[in-house]
Chains A and B, each alone.
Chain A
Amino acid sequence: MSNQNDDNLNDQDEKDSAFVSKLYQQTKHQIPSSEVDDKVLAMARQHTAAASKSKAKPLWTKWQFATSIAASALFVAFIFMHTPNEPLESQLSPSLPPPSASKEEQADRFEPEVATLRDAKEMALLKQRASSEKRKMVAEEMQNADDLEAITVTGSRIVDIDPYIEEIYSELIALKAELTESEQLQSLVAKPEQEDSLLQEYDDLQSLLFDFLIEQKAEQDDWQLDTKYKQVLTEAQWEKLTASSQD
């Protein structure tokens, strides 16, 4: 009985669904308006156009972010590979410039020393200028003294040459010091012609001192040659003075 009832129910269900479905299919006529159709199709057209545009783009534009990351990583790797030991070298020998340093960087490192030497050179030039002025004055005075000597008939000197000897000696000492200092500077900044002029002045003063000492010796009976002049006279001059003094 129950099976028969189930079968009847199933048959009834099929009949119900067939009838209702047929009726429903007869009634359905509702469709979207043409305006809605246009909107939907426009969306599809837009999507298709956008897709074709993205296909037309160069390959790298699709991977911009990944390309940027890779390029950054390569750059950092390149930097590390090419400068791996620089900090260690700097720690080991901080006074030395790095091997890759340019000439300008090296010049910058020597700048304080060069500045110091330049100052010293300027001081030396100032001293030289001052001493040369003094020597001019002395030379003028000596010229006057020579003139006076020429005028005197008695043979006795009107002008005492001892102070001049001492002054020339001091000049020679100073000049010698300058020459010594100039030799040190020469390697870096000093010009050769400046040293030549100093040597010339030194020679002149040396000859002048020698002449004065000879003259002094001739004038004074008890003349004694001071050994300090040995350091500013040439060996030949010194021997002449000592020989004549012994005589």
Chain B
Amino acid sequence: MTLNNQTVQETDENLLTQFVNGEYAAFQLLYERHKGGLFRYVARQLHDQNLVEDIFQEVWSKVISRASSFDQQAKFTTWLYTIARHHLIDHIRHIKVVENVISESENKEAVEGVSASSPEQAHDTVLQSQALMQCLDKLPMQQKDCFLLKEESGLSAKEIAEIIDTGFEATKSRLRYAYQSLRHCLEQKLGDLLKSDTGNKGGQSI
């Protein structure tokens, strides 16, 4: 069986079961599927690259050691990101509190008083990405967490609510505020060029 065929046919849950039964190749597939999203989920909440790599490895170590206790009725992605989130919180609990305070105060400034840095370069994708990352860093931690779970794992609001152990409505609100804040922040940063750029793309506009 080729790797591509397995990728299409096997679900995450089946791959994990195969790994528990001793198939190393199944884990390789599972890792390839989720390594990018999980790595970015960790990396975009921390700024220390070494710490990101350490936590990323520790999360996978836990996945490996706890694979035999995985509930087949559960969704692998939910389980994986729950482990990652708990691990992340354990490591940066004190940092998170500090960043939360800083982030909230800076976020107000970013949304209310910051002007666009360079409207001339608004068409540059790199510049847009940089702006997005800057805006993302200014998000409150809870909103940022929900946003990253949504974007990196592709989970629904209900599944995210399960991971962050919060109500469905509260999760939806956090997601809505996260996207709104990011949108406003990007408008502030990129200005009119962003509006014209989105206007040219029709349906994908704001």
Contacts and interface: CB of A to CB of B under 8 A. Distances in A.
B93 interface: no
Contacts of A16: 179-180, 182-183, 206
Contact of B19 (A24, A26, A39, A48): A48
A123 B125 CA distance: 126
B140 to A, nearest CB: 15
Contacts of A20: 132, 179, 182-183, 186
B39 A47 contact: no
Interface string B137-172: 000000000000001100000000000000000000
Interface in A14-29: 15-28
Given A19-B183, A31-B39, A36-B57, A47 B65 contact: yes
A41 interface: yes
Interface residues of B, number: 39
B36 interface: yes
B89 interface: no
A47 B36 contact: no
Contact of A40 (B24, B31, B67, B204): B31
A43 B61 CA distance: 7
B39 A21 contact: no
A13 B152 CA distance: 19
A51 B67 CA distance: 12
A26 to B, nearest CB: 6
B88 to A, nearest CB: 15
Nearest to A55: B22
Contacts of A18: 204
Contacts of B24: 44-45, 48
Contact of B128 (A15, A27, A32): A27
Nearest to B151: A24
Contact of A51 (B22, B198, B206): B22
B133 interface: yes
Contact of B129 (A27, A33, A36): A27
Given A23-B186, A41-B28, A43-B64, A36 B176 contact: no
Contact of A13 (B35, B128, B180, B186): B180
B56 A36 contact: yes
Nearest to B59: A40
B53 A36 contact: yes
Contact of B133 (A13, A27, A39, A43): A27
A17 B128 CA distance: 16
A44 B39 contact: no
B92 to A, nearest CB: 18
Contacts of A52: 22
B43 interface: yes
Instruction: Report, nearest first, the 8 A-B pairs whose CB atoms are least far apart.
Output: A27-B129, A16-B183, A17-B179, A44-B27, A16-B179, A40-B60, A48-B24, A32-B39
Given A24-B151, A47-B64, A47-B65, 11 more contacts: A13-B180, A17-B176, A18-B204, A19-B206, A20-B186, A26-B125, A32-B35, A32-B56, A41-B28, A44-B64, A48-B22
10 contacts: A13-B176, A19-B204, A19-B205, A27-B133, A28-B152, A32-B35, A40-B31, A40-B61, A48-B27, A52-B22
